Amino acid sequence: MYPKAKQAWLLLAALVILALPPMQRFLEQSMVMHMLVQIPALVIIGWITGKILPENWKDNIAPWNRWGITGIALAIIIMTYWMLPRVQDAAISEWPVELTKFITVPIMGMALGISWPQLNPIAQGVLKLEFWATFMRLGWLYLDLPDRLCANYLLSDQRVFGQLLLLAGSIWAVAWTLRIMFGIRIVNT
Amino acid sequence: MRTFLATFLVVIAGSLILWVSTDEGRAFTAEEARRLEIRETPRPVPDWHLQNQDAETFRIQDWHGHFIVVDFIYTSCPDVCLILSGNLKTLQKDFSTEEKSDKLRFLSISFDPEKDTPQRLKEHLSHFSADFRYWMAARPINPSQKKAILDFFKVIVIPDEYGGYTHSAGYHIINPDGKLVAIFGIEQTAELHTYLNQVLKEKENVSKS
């Protein structure tokens, strides 16, 4: 039990550090940091929290979440919500929205962490492909769009974000290809 | 069964939240949201005191009874503001008949009051051969007022990498009753033109009858 309790404190500490106003300002001043550092960090905090939940909590959740379906549905909804540009803008200017982000994004990570391993391998494959396609589509969109989507970020920032999404998607694709064709496991995807 | 129920609830609640938070699927960006919001619920414009290009105090109230087209600028702007003000120049030419000029005014508000002195505001207007009687450039007189104005119009200004600013660019329409009634994007000049034609005609009919 002891290591779990210690992990829980570490996670809480990480969440508090991310929520400190100077840290918030630092991570939210650019789109890239906001989307590729702050949000993934919140997801990871949630994911690990899901792993170390007490066993009896997990047992209580399980009948409501067979094959991980409910959790994945919840995660997809939360993800879609935070992909709306106006919500990201609102998170910067209105604190209730920011608070919602700090609660729902870790919940999304938790739902993913609990549900993903239970999910049917075919559903996993479909979702992975869909996530990957979203990276590529959005990356292309951000590179190509002549207007800013977020009122709080510069167009140049949006372009860099687009490039990074495409880069991440490409690396992911290469890793898959290597694994499928040659059985090389670079990353565990 | 319980999984089915839970999933069903999550999907229904989630779809509702997404529906509501995009104004029924009509606004996905903050810019779209502010335009939609104003169209549906016009807001009375507070009576701010600004300083104009002749260093005189100007109140929005001074132009009560006119349609006012407001744009936001900073005079050292290299791109968007030039297009904004360039379009205002075209509008001023198109709506130049005396009758219409009496109903329509243009106001360029600077969000860079430290640099944009009355002198520079005047130069800015001169660049666009503005008719000073109908087109005014003005700056807020203190930082708190600047914030109040930007917040009211929901104009977001962020510093860019060249020492200038990137900002929400649009035309904000204040009606003769002093309410903010519409916002047009920089790309919607044709719509703005049609809108002004229509409302000015309506106003004419009202004042005749």
A7-16 pLDDT, tens digit each: 888 889 999 9
Residues A93 and A163 in one domain: no
Q: What confidence category does residue A152 fall into, taking pLDDT thresholds of 50, 70 and 90? A: confident
Q: Are residues B47 and B16 in the same domain?
A: no
Residues B95 and B7 in one domain: no
Out of A49-58, B55-64, B171-180, B199-208, which region has the weakest mean confidence (pLDDT)?
Answer: B199-208
- Tally Cβ neighbours within 10 Å of residue A155: 16
Q: What angle do CA B181, B60, B106 make, to 5 degrees?
A: 70
Number of separate domains in chain B: 2
DSSP codes of every residue in B30-56 = HHHHHHHHHHHS-EEPP--EEEETTS-
A61 and A108 housed in the same domain: yes
Q: Are A104 and A130 within one domain?
A: no
- CA torsion sign for B122, B127, B132, B137 is negative
Give the least confident one: A79-93, A154-168, B93-107: B93-107
Same structural domain for residues A109 and A168? no
> Among partner residues B5, B7, B160, which is closest to A154 by beta-carbon distance?
B160
Q: Chains A, B: CB contacts under 8 A, how many?
A: 75
Q: How many residues does chain A have?
A: 189
Binding residues of B for Cu cation: 77, 81, 167
Q: pLDDT at position B208, please?
A: 65
Question: Touching check for B3 and chain A: CB below 8 Å?
Answer: yes
Asked if A177 and A114 sit in the same domain, the reply is no
Please indicate whether, in this complex, the C-beta atoms of A89 and B156 are within 8 angstroms of each other: yes
Quick check: A23 contacting B, CB < 8 Å? no
> What was the pLDDT predicted at A33?
92
Residue B20 and residue B52 in one domain: no
Q: Which residues of B touch A64 (CB under 8 A)?
A: 2-3, 5-6
Last residue in a domain, options A60, A86, A119 = A119
- The answer to whether the beta carbons of residues A73 and B11 sit under 8 Å apart is yes
Do residue B37 and residue B47 come from a single domain? no
Query: Do residues A71 and A136 share a domain?
Result: no
Looking at the structure, tell me whether residues A147 and A73 fall in a common domain: no
In this structure, the answer to whether residues B36 and B46 fall within a common structural domain is no
Q: How confident is the model at residue A146 (pLDDT cuts 50, 70, 90)?
A: confident
Domain that holds residue A109: 1-119
- Put simply, whether the predicted model's pTM sits higher than 0.95 gets the answer no
Range(s) of the domain holding residue B8? 1-41
Q: Which residues of A touch B17 (CB under 8 A)?
A: 77, 81
Do B51 and B4 share a structural domain? no
Taking residues A82-96, report their average pLDDT.
91
Residue A1 confidence (pLDDT) above 50: no
Question: What letter represents residue B68's amino acid?
Answer: I
Token digits of residue A126 = 């479909």
Which tens digits make up the pLDDT trace of A30-40? 899 999 999 99
Count how many domains chain A has.
2
Please check whether residues B46 and B110 belong to one and the same domain: yes
